[in-house]
Structure 1
């Protein structure tokens, strides 16, 4: 490279935000998007990886004593500790969110280097975090409440009351639908969901 020349970074891929209320089927849609060749960056998975790092575990234990057990984060215990306390939630977010964002930015840069035109950012609390502003389009997966409860209960680990409490902390399904670019209604069979997804991707110019 001669003097005066500068490295040109690949253009940022367009971002398709993917979100939905608990039990709506967001993970199923993420899988279908991967099957269609799209890079899906999973915010929850990146958060788990971040909280496996020794330095992050040390910071979490210092901030919330007792949440690291045998070198592993007690996620349920940490969630119970901060639940309902905005100050503790803010403290937790300050520790983890910058690192998660950095990991997601690195994965997006890798997709850009591969020449990908779109990436999917799978973010459960996309609207709640104000992250829709950074998206080029937002896809919301939705289903009726009772069906969502049934699915979430079938996964195990949460009671009906737990699920309803989590759902109540998020924007309502109606609000998410209003803010979405496109909505997938996941109240029917898988093939119906796939048809809706393919139509949405065509409408956005992704397929």
Structure 2
């Protein structure tokens, strides 16, 4: 099985591209969903509470918004959280991948911090989704009710878009119509030699 990494800065529209890849018959493993699943487990919750305080785990449920506000803008706190969560996410994704291997020549790994986590070496190709800053800000505010300050803090915690573009196998420009986005996805898959088992 070969891996196609999918990444992009906050508000780039990466989730839309992930859905287009699913429509084209490619299995997509979502690192954010995996993180939600592993942070619901008792051992992870206990380690987070020990590292950051019991106030972030209420009734055995992680207060994701409060923890995010606590770590973003503080690199040392974010690194500490990532050290707890990321190894568990990677192990979970490996298990999901193993279940798909017999039936799929390619799998997409949708990982927001793919480059930041040094995971590009594990990918056979990487798609980077990008869009102008103001457009990304508008999407994040509309989707999550995020303030500009919150958006800037999260954006600053990620690798700059220009560096992601430099490292990408292909770049998807998500600043136009859905039809244009679909055409770019299809072209990238053809150029990378990925032939999905079905088309939309």
Aligned twin of 1:23: 11
Greater Cα offset, 82-91 or 147-156: 82-91
- TM-score w.r.t. the length of structure 2 is 0.92
Aligned twin of 2:174: 186
SS at match of 1:113: coil
Question: Which gives a bigger RCO, structure 1 or 2 (Cα 8 Å, sep 6+)?
Answer: 2
Q: 1:84-122: per-residue Cα shift (whole Å, max 9, x none)? A: 4443333322222221111100111111122x1110010
Q: How many pairs does the alignment contain? A: 194
* Aligned CA distance change for structure 1 residues 152 and 181 (closer, same or farther; 3 Å): same
- What CA distance in whole angstroms lies between the structure 2 residues aligned with 1:113 and 1:42? 19
Within 5 Å, give how 1:86-165 maps onto structure 2.
86-114=75-103, 116-165=104-153
* Aligned CA distance change for structure 1 residues 89 and 165 (closer, same or farther; 3 Å): closer
- What CA distance in whole angstroms lies between the structure 2 residues aligned with 1:105 and 1:189? 34
Greater than 4 Å deviation, 4+ residue runs: none
Whether 1:78 and 2:78 are equivalent positions in the alignment is no
- TM-score w.r.t. the length of structure 1 is 0.89
Structure 1 gap segments, 5+ residues each? 1-12
* Aligned CA distance change for structure 1 residues 37 and 173 (closer, same or farther; 3 Å): same
SS at match of 2:145: coil
Report the alpha carbon displacement of residue 206 of structure 1 after superposing the two structures with TM.
Answer: 1.1
Structure 2 gap segments, 5+ residues each? 196-200
Aligned twin of 2:52: 64
* Aligned CA distance change for structure 1 residues 23 and 86 (closer, same or farther; 3 Å): closer
